Amino acid sequence: MADEELPVIARFEVRRRSYLAPDGTVLRPLPNFASDSDILISLYRGMVLTRAFDLKAVSLQRTGRLGTYAVSLGQEAVSVGIASAMREEDVVLPSYRDNGTLLWRGTKMEEILLFWGGDERGNLSSGPADDFPYCIPVASQAPHAAGVAYAFKLRKEPRVAVCLFGDGATSKGDVWEAMNFAGVHKLPVVFVANNNQWAISVPLQLQTASQTLAQKAIAAGFSGEQVDGNDVVAVRAAAEDAIAQARAGGGPRLIEAVTYRLSDHTTADDAARYRPPEEVQTRWKEEPIARLRAYLVSQKAWGKSQEEELAADCQKQIEAAIERYLATAPRAPQTMFDHLYAELPRAYASQRAELSGGSDA
Amino acid sequence: MPEVTLVEAINLALARAMEEDANVVVLGEDVGVNGGVFRATVGLQQRFGAERVIDTPLAELLISGLCVGMAAQGLKPVGEIQFMGFIYPCIDQLVNHASRLRNRTQGRLSCPMVLRTPHGGGIRAPEHHSESTEAMLAHIPGLRVVMPSSPERAYGLLLAAIRDPDPVVFLEPTRIYRASKGQVEDNGEALPLDVAFVLRQGRDVTLISWGAAVKETLAAADELAAEGIDAEVIDLATLKPYDEETVLASVTRTGRCVIVHEAARTGGFGAEIAALLAERGLTSLLAPIARVTGYDTIMPLPRLEQRYIPSVARIVAATRKVCQFS
């Protein structure tokens, strides 16, 4: 029973940010950083490298030289745009698909391949030492982000935790519990919901009846913003804003980046089982790389020769990384005990010895 | 030396740890202003501030997940789960993150956290407040599972758990929170983890227990002594990883073993000890191993809980049988 005479005690709004249309034309005045074409070109390079690397990883998997791999095809603007707004000393908590984020922050391609190729040493990562590795149990990294941010706040360090997860993750309590706590303590954390429309085979409308994912922040007491996740300018601008606010003590924010998973969920998935190819074809018209390229070309900041040079450069880097990955010998079996605890308990010495062929070495 | 209860010893250890290391933070439901539902954290927030003694929202998964994030950043979080019956939302964090963060990053990140929770029955608490599911946790590689059975060990082992560079689940025997009293010198000295404590030396039979059941086990040893049976009593104290050598050395000497735990029998941690003795101590055994445990039932509500918890009489009877076997 809605009584219209009862006073309204709360009203909320969710805004959407986008600058570049799918054809690269400008929808509204661009943010300041976009006047620097070097920045835009670096974002472009980051996205192109991520896509080329992803595609190569798939071919490695198809030829039996890599394990299951989660491709970020079509979502490069989210992982690259977010990473580009972070500082080295910030901490990222990525999901398993944020390949572009890791690459941008300095993880080497051979390290990513090593991890998905079945070797924990890939997570040693040449990126910032405090960054978290890929999180595979969906949403479970969100409370870590709140814990990391709490540590920053307690120690009065001007650092920000940035947590990426997918649309499916927003259905889990983990994300809610983390956002709720971050709201209570105004923690320096930015949550990023990469809304790629599909959680394996389950479409967004079966995930939630919520009009946006961004509004899920509102109940936690802070704002959420939706951005066009295929517009890297919008993603970066939203991330810059949110990260600056968090760093200044203004508390958390949720960014919902609306994009589309152009690929299968992983190499172990066949998306043709559950979604029509026409849908995917349509979404290809909105993908982020062609969009930024169109803008850069329109600005005379990019051309055919640069494109060819970049493609060749990416291939060269990737081939070299693959060589290093394939040349990495498996670690010795007994090393599976080496980082179980800081110091191996006496109780497990004999098990380790068994793996090392009887000697305790 | 002042005499304190087990829960007061917990409080002393928490205060000592917070005093000596600014990275130690305490978090959980009602741990701040209220001092915890058992008063384990009483006075800490007044002394160390609300930033280090955090009244969290009512969300157990969050508490354990925050601990992982804080610990990866170099804090030493001590999370409290109000009763063990509410620890289950934390299992994802314990299995998938806390226990393996060091390994999956090959030592780049680590997880020096403690998750404390009251364990076991016997205090006439409502449903879901009285279970003993330590074996489930002890099955997780990369974790430590510790359970004190006296104020001295509560103080010394909790300090050790907080200082330990790896994750520890610290199970506190609710039933003897106040019933167990002892002299504790608040000197900051930790007791060793991964080590069992021989509480009573004996020649005839080894009784192995942990947590609140140690109380009945010691009482049983007294009764048995009156019958001329000289029982050795071992408090396992750390279940993961446990002190195999102390157990083996004792049973090798006595040739007989009774394992006492409050948890249900099947897959209980007693089975692990029995397996160890079968593998490495069989030739020393003079009698079958006996287990005195909770039953393979749901932990009953308070009207029947004392019939579930191993009694002195059950321990005495089982031990007598083991000692009469020839």
Q: How far A115 CA sits from the closest chain B CA (Å)?
A: 9
Residue of B nearest to A184 (CA): B57
Task: State how far the Cα of B289 lies from the Cα of B286, in Å rounded to an integer.
Answer: 9
The CATH code of the domain that includes B108 is 3.40.50.970
Is residue B190, in this structure, part of any structural domain at all? no
- The Cβ-side half-sphere exposure at A66, using a 13 Å CA radius, reads 29
- Report, as an integer, the average pLDDT of A308-330: 98
Strand partners, B146: B170, B238
Q: Which of B154, B183, B212 is the last residue of a domain?
A: B183
Query: Across the interface, do B62 and A181 touch by the CB < 8 Å criterion?
Result: yes
B165 and B222 assigned to the same domain: no
B250 and B116 assigned to the same domain: no
Task: State how far the Cα of A39 lies from the Cα of A33, in Å rounded to an integer.
Answer: 7
Kind of pairing, strands B238-240 and B144-146? antiparallel
CA A288 to chain centre: 15
| Residues of A with Cβ-Cβ distance to B146 under 8 angstroms | none
In b/e form, how buried is each residue of A242-259, taking b as 16+ CB within 10 angstroms? bbebbbeeebbbbbbbbb
Angle at CA of residue B237, ends B132 and B43, nearest 5°: 80
Q: B173, B160 in Cβ contact below 8 A?
A: no
Query: Across the interface, do B62 and A339 touch by the CB < 8 Å criterion?
Result: no
| Residues of B with Cβ-Cβ distance to A145 under 8 angstroms | 69
Asked if the ipTM is above 0.85, the reply is yes
pLDDT band at A358 (very low <50, low <70, confident <90, very high): low
Q: Which of B183, B212, B227 is the last residue of a domain?
A: B183
Q: B105, B98 in Cβ contact below 8 A?
A: no
Kind of pairing, strands A198-199 and A202-203? antiparallel
Considering CB atoms only, which of A125, A151, A184 is closest to B73? A151
| Residues of B with Cβ-Cβ distance to A142 under 8 angstroms | 65
Query: Across the interface, do B71 and A147 touch by the CB < 8 Å criterion?
Result: yes
| Residues of B with Cβ-Cβ distance to A180 under 8 angstroms | 57, 59, 62
B164 and B34 assigned to the same domain: yes
Number of cross-chain residue pairs from A and B with Cβ atoms under 8 Å apart: 137
Query: Across the interface, do B102 and A184 touch by the CB < 8 Å criterion?
Result: no
Considering CB atoms only, which of B57, B73, B107 is closest to A180? B57
Is residue B29, in this structure, part of any structural domain at all? yes
Residues of A annotated as catalytic are: 261, 265, 274
Considering CB atoms only, which of B66, B75, B144 is closest to A181? B66
B204 and B148 assigned to the same domain: no
Considering CB atoms only, which of A120, A132, A148 is closest to B106? A120
Residue of B nearest to A155 (CA): B23
Is residue B269, in this structure, part of any structural domain at all? yes
B154 and B202 assigned to the same domain: no
Query: Across the interface, do B57 and A184 touch by the CB < 8 Å criterion?
Result: yes
| Residues of B with Cβ-Cβ distance to A340 under 8 angstroms | 102-103, 141-142
| Residues of A with Cβ-Cβ distance to B73 under 8 angstroms | 91, 130, 147-148, 151-152
Residue for token pair 């140690």:
B214
Query: Across the interface, do A144 and B102 touch by the CB < 8 Å criterion?
Result: no
Quick: pLDDT tens for A256-297: 999 999 999 999 999 999 999 999 999 999 999 999 999 999
| Residues of B with Cβ-Cβ distance to A146 under 8 angstroms | 62, 65-66, 69
B239 and B129 assigned to the same domain: no
Which domains are present in chain A? 15-330 (3.40.50.970), 333-361 (no CATH)
Task: State how far the Cα of B240 lies from the Cα of B140, in Å rounded to an integer.
Answer: 9
| Number of domains comprising chain B | 2
Q: How far A250 CA sits from the closest chain B CA (Å)?
A: 17
Q: How far B178 CA sits from the closest chain A CA (Å)?
A: 32
Is residue B191, in this structure, part of any structural domain at all? no
Residue of B86, B105, B276 to mutate when probing chain A, most A C-beta within 10 A: B105
B201 and B172 assigned to the same domain: no
Is residue B24, in this structure, part of any structural domain at all? yes
SS3 B115: strand
Residue of A132, A144, A174, A334 to mutate when probing chain B, most B C-beta within 10 A: A144
Query: Across the interface, do B69 and A129 touch by the CB < 8 Å criterion?
Result: no
Is residue B192, in this structure, part of any structural domain at all? no
Query: Across the interface, do B110 and A178 touch by the CB < 8 Å criterion?
Result: no
| Residues of A with Cβ-Cβ distance to B242 under 8 angstroms | 347
B156 and B242 assigned to the same domain: no
Query: Across the interface, do A348 and B105 touch by the CB < 8 Å criterion?
Result: no
- The Cβ-side half-sphere exposure at A269, using a 13 Å CA radius, reads 18
Query: Across the interface, do B242 and A347 touch by the CB < 8 Å criterion?
Result: yes
Residue of A114, A180, A189, A341 to mutate when probing chain B, most B C-beta within 10 A: A341
Quick: pLDDT tens for A87-112: 999 999 999 999 999 999 999 999 99
B158 and B222 assigned to the same domain: no
B112 and B65 assigned to the same domain: yes
The CATH code of the domain that includes B266 is 3.40.50.920
pLDDT of A361: 44
Q: A235, A78 in Cβ contact below 8 A?
A: yes
| Residues of A with Cβ-Cβ distance to B51 under 8 angstroms | 154
pLDDT of A242: 98
Query: Across the interface, do A180 and B59 touch by the CB < 8 Å criterion?
Result: yes
pLDDT above 80 (res A1): no
| First and final C-alpha spacing in chain B | 47
Quick: pLDDT tens for A110-155: 999 999 999 999 999 999 999 999 999 999 999 999 999 999 999 9
| Residues of B with Cβ-Cβ distance to A125 under 8 angstroms | 105, 108
pLDDT of B287: 98
Let me know if B139 is a catalytic residue: no
Handedness of CA B260, B262, B268, B272 (dihedral sign): negative
- Report, as an integer, the average pLDDT of A225-241: 98
B241 and B115 assigned to the same domain: no
Q: Which of B97, B119, B129, B261 is catalytic?
A: B129
pLDDT of A3: 80
Q: Looking at the whole model, is its pTM more than 0.95?
A: yes
Query: Across the interface, do B96 and A140 touch by the CB < 8 Å criterion?
Result: yes
Per-residue pLDDT of chain B (326 residues; tens, 9 = 90+): 789 999 999 999 999 999 999 999 999 999 999 999 999 999 999 999 999 999 999 999 999 999 999 999 999 999 999 999 999 999 999 999 999 999 999 999 999 999 999 999 999 999 999 999 999 999 999 999 999 999 999 999 999 999 999 999 999 999 999 999 999 999 999 999 999 999 999 999 999 999 999 999 999 999 999 999 999 999 999 999 999 999 999 999 999 999 999 999 999 999 999 999 999 999 999 999 999 999 999 999 999 999 999 999 999 999 999 999 98
Give the burial class of A312: count Cβ atoms within 10 A of its Cβ; 0-12 exposed, 13-18 middle, 19 or more buried.
Answer: exposed
Quick: pLDDT tens for A14-65: 999 999 999 999 999 999 999 999 999 999 999 999 999 999 999 999 999 9
Q: How far A39 CA sits from the closest chain B CA (Å)?
A: 31
Q: Which of B126, B148, B183 is the last residue of a domain?
A: B183
Quick: pLDDT tens for A168-213: 999 999 999 999 999 999 999 999 999 999 999 999 999 999 999 9
Residue of A nearest to B98 (CA): A144
Residue of B106, B115, B164 to mutate when probing chain A, most A C-beta within 10 A: B106
Query: Across the interface, do A146 and B69 touch by the CB < 8 Å criterion?
Result: yes
B132 and B205 assigned to the same domain: no
Query: Across the interface, do B77 and A130 touch by the CB < 8 Å criterion?
Result: no
Q: B65, A177 in Cβ contact below 8 A?
A: yes
Domain that holds residue B239: 197-324
Query: Across the interface, do B69 and A154 touch by the CB < 8 Å criterion?
Result: no
pLDDT of A359: 54
